[in-house]
A and B are shown apart, each in its own frame.
Chain A
Amino acid sequence: MSSIRSNPETLSVLDRPNSYIGKTVPRPNLDRLLQGRGTYVSDMELPRMAHVAFLRSPHAHAEIVSIDASAAKQMAGVIAVVTGKELSAVITPWVGVLSHLKGLKSAPQSAIAIDRVCWQGEAVAAIVATSRAAAEDAAEHVAVEYREIEAVTDMRTALDPATPVIHASLGDNLAWERVHDAGAVDEAFAGSDAVVEAEFIFGRHTGVTLEPRSVVADWNAAEARLTIYQGTQAPHMVQNIAALHLGLKESQVRVVCKDVGGSFGIKVHIYADEMAIYALSKLLRRPIKFVADRVESFNTDIHARDHRCKGKIGVKRDGSITAFEIDDLTGIGPYSMYPRTSAIEANQVVNLVGGPYTNKNYRARARVVYQNKNVMCQYRAVGHPIACSVTEGLVDLAAMKIGMDPVEIRRRNLIADDAYPCGSPSGLRFEQLSHHASLAKIVEMMDYQALRTEQAALRKKGVHRGIGIASFIEVTNPSAAFYGVGGARISSQDGVAVRLDAQGSVICQTSITEQGQGSESLTAQIVGSVLGVSMDRVRVILGDTDMTPYGGGTWASRGAGIGGEAALQATKILRKNILDVAAVILQSTPAELDIAGNAVVNVGDGAPRIELNELARIVYFRPDTLPPGIQPELMATKHFVPREYPFAFTNGVQAAWVEVDTDSGFVKLLKHWVVEDCGTIINPQLVDEQIRGGVVQGLGAALFEKCIYDERGQLTNANMADYLVPMSGEMPDIDVGHVVSPTRESELGAKGAGEAGTAGAAAAVTNAVNDALSPFGTIITEIPLTPQVILTAMGRI
């Protein structure tokens, strides 16, 4: 692993003997999941718990004329049938806007539709019954009369004067527009030796978490307290919003997040139907459970991507890029999601296009429009796959035009590794990136020249293989600049409390959450390393607003970088406090003592002086034996948020090696490589697996995944047989390498790694397919790259 460690001040708290930092250690508590003994929300049962099925709109856009639930209410097992109007007695509507996205507008959204439905799948009534099956039986007997309204479905015509306006109060279907102009774009294009344009088309995807969204809400009227069990990535955000719209104080809402069956950004939002469950619990004064079924998941889990982006690049004969220009359009459904809004993905596209390169001339427009389809919002690697595919697609087109190797054109344009800190023409600030070291490393890992030789030899035999390269940058460790400055009550800081228990073990409460990334592991590794105790002595508690410090949770690649630093700083204090007490007990000085191997030891010779369990025994049970005035503090709390940089950018590069069957249009993924730089690596295995999982999510987008709507706004493939997710049979092995440039914003130096894989995978594959098809003169800038798309582009059908 090459290292550009920028803060090597003597021995840091991370470099202590027996440190777990940088080591592959198994995640604690995996046996629970391996033995089927986890507790997912879908597993939960509470006394008197009732189940909900939602009656959902079959129309993309319709007026609700009437709802007759009288027959349904008489059916066996039915407890209540509740409409949007009835539910509005206990919950208020919301509007998903943020003030820093200037001009973003949206309409009030209710937990259950009132008077009008705006997408196929929007809830119209909640049927509460003793079982889900009974609720579904009754749902078939709720009679709803609709008056259909023309549905707005095509984003390209959503702004036409002839197109109906979905929300009259907004005046038009434009949710948000951003225009950016930096440098002298027109002059740059005019002075270019070649200018290439293309339109990039991205399918609508969704997250398809294997455990669907699930919630159990338990309003205890006697306590006047609501407990929400939910697989959310942001418990405190849910607490705040549930309280706000139910008219409660935050102290009256507890959010508990146990095991979560996948999230990927799907479970970081406030969904209308989940709000309805909180409200139903309050209304009916009993625990209410909702587990989305798979069809509902496709129709109501946020969708993402679905952009059409026109791109233009200028280049000189020597390969230097002169300018980028994009015009991006996206349709986000009928409402901007709450509270993170649905304009962030387009905003990211504008921010990130051209990001790896030295070019200073950049013009962009992004328009976000409303339509009568399911809502869109942030999903793993928000905006990155679009920006990366557009940028890297354009770079390859430029290289092709001037006859330059794709690696070479990148070498000539990537920001130099010693040029930092620096900025991008879109206004981003980079602390320290390593594009060139990363590119050099991937070229070596994949043996680029040998692959080119193999490619040429196979081409003569009619076998068409291609290599695709994609450099990228990734937003991680977001500060308040992401949401807080726009008025959202979403914490960008995280907190960790650590305490020594009475047997000398450590209990650590953190505000970040676990959905399988390894938050628990990285926290325990940091605490164990900094304190000097073994990991099996560290118990990590997370996912409970009653039990943990206040914080943001786990999303946007922030858990390790922000929550990890809070853990490090809290543990440093605990260590100091322990050594202060130890010095008193041992009649020594803190400077002469250290903690190692679960005991206080001499700094000098490492000899054990007192076991931590003995120290704890004295402090907790025999404080009378300590000198007067000594009050040990064996618990410490620290919070952390990055302040200097709005985001800790990471970078990396991906490469794909594919074979295209030019008869059938089928693409076989042969191999994939990634080199990325997430700063300090806490657990190499966990980082690599984040990368691999992320890559495959991007490969799904590249080849398979697409929510297919018809012109009337009906989602036509809302099941797992027709929406194709990547399965093991088609996925390649993925080699992962690292370059390490720690951030100086924290002592830990860690940046995020959760989204790097997804950011560049589709771009690499698309470039590889175009490389394979270069003898045919075929260029494809649309994903998913289905056999139909490929054969059509090749003119074979």
Chain B
Amino acid sequence: MKASAFAYARATSVANALELLVLHGEKARVLSGGQSLIPAINLRLVAPELIVDISDLKELRGIAVKGETLVIGALTRHADLLKSSDIVKCAPLLKAAVAHVAHPAIRNRGTIGGSLAQADPASELPACMLALGATIVVRGPGGERRIAAEDFFTGIYETKLAPQDLLVALELPVARKGSAHFFQEFARRHGDYAIVGLAAQALLQGDRFADLRLGYFAVGDKPVLAKAAGRLTGVAVTPALLAEVSDALSDELDPQQDQQATPAMRRHLAKVLLRRSVATLLNRPDLQAGATA
């Protein structure tokens, strides 16, 4: 299929992009990497009247460490994340996750801001934002806002972004000493969206978790920061405790049915990932045994 007709404007600055968005409202769509938007346009699933192309805005690109904060420009591409030494140092979870995003040619165009704004509940990066405790920086007609990742994602393809808003950057706390991460997803093929995935960020103190943030994806209408993880911090994790937490996780999730999996399947896989992540992060192979009681 061929795209419906639309007008095209190449934004010259963030201010210019915001002006265009205010002017055209919901009839306009922001084009950053285009790796989700253009397929939808080609399939005539969306037919915007105006495309506001922000992909040339250099001010939105780049990775910088500012004190204890890692700032990633919205137009930073997946390929840039993979190659960045700052990412390896400050947020290695992201690198682990991005390797699972689609394929090289897609990663050369797709951007982190685009991925977060798209808010596909099965995509990797939104869950990473939850696990990493990111702040999403948004600019709109009323100026700049900072939204905690936990509040940012509101539903399937839905976020706190209004049609006139632009996601400009995200801020992550730099990984502290004692940090560890775990990333795994169950996808049918390399690069596919996951059936269930987990992006986990931990702070270890001896043989215990001082902090554990489990960002699940493809388990509901938006990424989920599992509350059950709290019960694993500051205590010695036993198989019995893990089993309890596993049940609590199962209760907490509200997965959807689709062609890949039933809700029961997703709950099951989420529990498998819980055990695998805890066993790996604590280096306790014994916790993984009998993963699926």
Contact = CB atoms under 8 A, between A and B. Distances in A.
Q: Do A and B bind each other?
A: yes
Interface of A: 131-133, 136-137, 140, 293, 295, 462, 662-666, 704, 708, 716-717, 719, 721-722, 724, 727, 729-730, 786-788, 791-792, 796-797
A664 B4 contact: no
Contact of B259 (A133, A136, A716, A729): A716
17 contacts: A136-B4, A136-B44, A137-B5, A293-B1, A295-B1, A664-B269, A664-B272, A665-B265, A666-B186, A704-B188, A704-B189, A719-B43, A786-B260, A791-B265, A791-B268, A792-B265, A796-B292
B190 A664 contact: no
B262 A662 contact: no
Contacts of A136: 1-2, 4, 44
A624 B260 CA distance: 78
A704 B272 CA distance: 22
A136 B3 CA distance: 9
B261 A730 contact: no
Contacts of A791: 265, 268
B170 to A, nearest CB: 26
A796 B272 CA distance: 11
Given A724-B189, A788-B265, A663 B4 contact: no
A618 B185 CA distance: 73
A792 B262 CA distance: 10
A660 to B, nearest CB: 13
Contact of B43 (A295, A724, A727): A295
B262 A132 contact: no
B1 A788 contact: no
Nearest to A731: B189
B268 A797 contact: yes
What class of interface size applies to chain B in its complex with A? 20 to 34
B134 interface: no
B23 interface: no
Given A724-B188, A727-B189, A796 B268 contact: yes
A729 B5 CA distance: 37
- Name which of B3, B261, B289 has the most chain A CB atoms within 10 A of its CB: B261
A746 B190 CA distance: 46
Contact of A717 (B4, B188, B259, B291): B259
A609 to B, nearest CB: 59
Contacts of B186: 664, 666, 787
A663 B259 contact: no
A133 B2 contact: yes
Nearest to A136: B2
B291 A663 contact: yes
Nearest to A662: B292
Contacts of B265: 665, 787-788, 791-792, 797
Given A786-B188, A787-B265, 12 more contacts: A133-B3, A293-B1, A295-B1, A295-B43, A663-B292, A721-B193, A724-B188, A727-B189, A729-B190, A730-B190, A788-B261, A797-B262
Contacts of A727: 189-191
A131 B2 CA distance: 10
B195 interface: yes
B264 interface: yes
Interface in B253-293: 259-262, 264-265, 267-269, 272, 289, 291-292
Contact of A787 (B195, B264, B289): B195
Contacts of B289: 462
A787 B261 CA distance: 8
Contacts of B4: 136-137, 140
B255 to A, nearest CB: 11
A132 B2 CA distance: 7
Contacts of A719: 43
Contacts of A786: 188, 260
Interface in B214-269: 259-262, 264-265, 267-269
Among A140, A295, A727, the most chain B Cβ lie within 10 Å of the Cβ of: A727
A717 B188 CA distance: 15
B234 to A, nearest CB: 28
A719 B195 CA distance: 18
A730 B187 CA distance: 11
A686 to B, nearest CB: 28
Contacts of A664: 186, 269, 272
Contacts of B43: 295, 719
A665 B188 CA distance: 11
A131 B3 CA distance: 12
A797 B289 CA distance: 18
A446 B262 CA distance: 37
B3 to A, nearest CB: 7
A205 B46 CA distance: 28
Nearest to B193: A721
A791 B260 CA distance: 12
Contact of B189 (A140, A717, A729): A729
Given A719-B43, A797-B264, A730 B195 contact: no
A661 to B, nearest CB: 9
Contacts of A140: 4, 44
A16 to B, nearest CB: 48
B120 to A, nearest CB: 11
